[in-house]
Structure 1
Amino acid sequence: MLYRLMKYVLLGPLLRLLWPAKVTGRENIPETGGAILAGNHLAVADSFFMPLRVPRKVTFPAKQEYFTEKGPKGLLKKWFFTGVGQFPIDRSSGSAAQAALDTAIRLVRSGHLLGIYPEGTRSPDGRLYKGKTGVARIALESRAPVIPVVMVGTDKVNPIGSKMWRPRKLEIRFGRPLDFSRYEGLAGDRFIERSITDEIMYALMELSGQEYVDIYAAKAKELIAADEAGVRPAVPLQPEGREPARLPESKAG
């Protein structure tokens, strides 16, 4: 009830009015049953604009801190993030990460649409970074299709560090579902899970046109921060005189 109120009465109409979006490929989203919407991640705004353009409810994992802050402000945050379809995850330990995966798998198995960002955090510079294999584990355990989805322009609406969103027309592209049923029974095999994750990232790269960088976004943020602080990083983000890293061609089919 709260989700519908936010989407159709309170937040949704305002966002549609101020930030119109061109949407393609929406027919790739199944009308029923569990599925995974795996997206690029340019801004916090991604988790608000994309679900508005999906006829079904999309559930996203979110930092536990959004739900545990004390006082009136904390209650407002909890109400808001619950209302837009997000659920809390604790990322403080390995067991917490496994619990988050188990929750995501259970949601997809029970027929929900799960939104997830394989990069694990926002891109620091608009490029596409190496995916974490949790998305592959969820796909294998739930036996659900993965639909790649890309946001274009949200990093201009909501640049990192900005407090106010800027007016700009957006684009949202949903790709064709990726079927990994050929790997049934191989959940837990790290080579299989890496292969699946790379296939998903290849689809996102093709759909978005973003340059791909073969390191994790969290590591890229560390390197960028070190460079800004005048500390020469141990591993350069992009060696001089070299072409940017590219994913191998998809082996789908």
Structure 2
Amino acid sequence: MFLLGTAVGSFLNVVIYRIPNGRSLLYPPSRCPACLTSLRAYDNIPILGWLLLRGQCRYCHAPISWRYPAIELLVGLLFVVIFAVSGWQWQTLKMWLLTAWLLALAFIDLDTMMLPHPLTQWGLVAGLIIQGLLAGGWLPALVSISHGIIAAALGIWLFDLIRWGGAIAFGQEVMGGGDGKLAAMIGAWLGWQGLLVTFFIAALLGGSVGGLGIALGWIQRRQPIPFGPFLAIAAIIAALFGADLIQFYVDTFLPGVSIP
């Protein structure tokens, strides 16, 4: 599971670097961005290749960012955690794919303050398709896809309301348009319950990090910060533990109430 995750992480590094630049994911093959020399297969071994090269190009000795093996390590560990929580079932494959998609978007948002429309759009479509495939039968599939569409619409409406309300209250944009599209994608994968859990966790994380950054002088007031990474982290948590978190909330604040 770990090796599979690191291989996926290696591919995500390509996605994160090339998609914002409008470049093909398939051509040209991996090469050094400094000297443009094509890399050998053993240079591309996840994590190990970077360690063997000591963090620099074999040919021109230009430094290779530590973030490449860090992302590979992160995805490998997350794949192991997901497998440990869910075991071997189709839902595990779904969560692996969702996690990879979310991480690509999160790192692109960190780098560019943008969430590429093709990734959120096709992520939404993929979520609806997978929900239908895992439903078991054409009628449950239709119901599942319908619920995913409703959740996607809820995600867009919710974030549009926040954007409009923030613009009126503060006189400036408080959230980018891509965040609503990412929320719609998350709704398509996790349903409206998972979307709401994601929203509350993301708001808590974003508010805490933003407040701490302002207090420490790292962030200026009204300085824009990417919200996509918080949504991605929150969605992964919701995918893994959303049902348990909802049950905990009901047991704590709404005792005696049953949830479907």
For Structure 1 versus Structure 2, the TM-score category normalised by the shorter chain is under 0.3
Higher strand content, 1 or 2:
1
Larger RCO, structures 1/2 (Cα 8 Å, 6+ apart): 1
Higher helix content, 1 or 2:
2
Task: Give the TM-score of the pair, scaled to structure 2.
Answer: 0.26
The structure having more radius of gyration, on CA atoms, is 2
